């Protein structure tokens, strides 16, 4: 005999409470009804998860201790896990890390940009240190604290850059890459397969140097400046 039939035989005028299993999105707590216990029937609460609590949609309902400290804390943890999982799915696979020197340099640039954004926001307030909204909440003071923290982080980044002489390392890295480009180009035009004459090699070399110089203003450092136009071939 099924639980439904057993219940109907003993309580024909009442609907079998709850659900057979703890369903997703429902409270799911095991019902403690005396009538169910006497019949040996196990049922679960079918209320919406968190019904009657401040964590609606997560955890047990208010009728099954959902508002107690323990259950509230548990619901907060679950909610945080869901939000983190959702955020992780949105972000997908992270961008691969580049050269550490370049990554640190970019982070410092973004830190400065964030500081400038906050300073601009302060300018919009016309140097007013404290403003209140309709609820009487002060906003400028919080902004000042955020700006001060941004300055501190920017200062820490500058100290890090100076300590490790990062600018020099970045320039050396870019110049090394530029030399590799030049060496690769020379390896091609000097290839015996092309059978270029000395005059043609000179023309190609001059054209390449001219094109690199045109790119110079858009590059830091100028890649052309670090290129040695010789016959060195990459092994």
Tell me which DSSP letter residue 65 carries: T
Model confidence at 226, pLDDT cuts 50, 70, 90, reads very low
The tens digit of pLDDT for each residue in 16-40 reads 998 999 898 899 999 988 889 889 9
> 95 or 47, which is more confident?
47
Q: Which two tokens stand for residue 23?
A: 């369903």
> 161 or 149, which is more confident?
149
Question: Look-up: residue for tokens 């858009």?
Answer: 218
- The mean pLDDT value of the chain amounts to 78
The tens digit of pLDDT for each residue in 95-139 reads 676 677 778 878 888 888 988 888 887 777 665 555 555 566 555
SS3 content of the chain, % helix, strand, coil (to 5): 60, 5, 40
Domain range summary for the chain, segments of one domain joined by +: 3-91, 100-164, 167-226
């Amino acid at each position: 005999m099924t639980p439904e039939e057993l219940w109907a035989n003993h309580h024909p005028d009442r609907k079998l409470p709850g659900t057979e299993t703890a369903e997703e999105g429902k409270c799911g707590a095991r019902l403690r009804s005396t009538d169910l216990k006497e019949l040996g029937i196990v049922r679960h609460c079918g209320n919406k998860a968190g019904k009657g609590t401040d964590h609606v949609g997560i955890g047990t309902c208010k009728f099954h201790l959902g508002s107690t400290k323990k259950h509230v804390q548990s619901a907060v943890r679950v909610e945080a896990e869901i939000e983190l999982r959702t955020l992780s799915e949105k972000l997908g696979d992270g961008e691969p890390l580049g050269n550490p020197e370049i990554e640190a340099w970019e982070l410092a640039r973004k830190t400065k940009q964030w500081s400038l954004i906050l300073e601009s926001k302060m300018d919009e307030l016309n140097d007013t240190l404290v403003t209140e909204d309709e609820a009487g909440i002060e906003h400028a003071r919080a902004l000042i604290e955020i700006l001060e923290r941004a300055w501190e982080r920017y200062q820490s980044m500058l100290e890090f850059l100076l300590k490790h002489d990062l600018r020099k390392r970045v320039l050396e890295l870019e110049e090394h890459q530029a030399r590799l480009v030049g060496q690769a180009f020379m390896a091609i035009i000097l290839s015996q397969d092309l059978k270029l004459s000395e005059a043609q090699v000179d023309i190609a070399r001059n054209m390449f140097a001219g094109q690199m110089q045109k790119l110079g203003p858009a590059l830091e450092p100028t890649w052309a400046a670090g290129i040695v136009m010789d016959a060195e071939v990459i092994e």
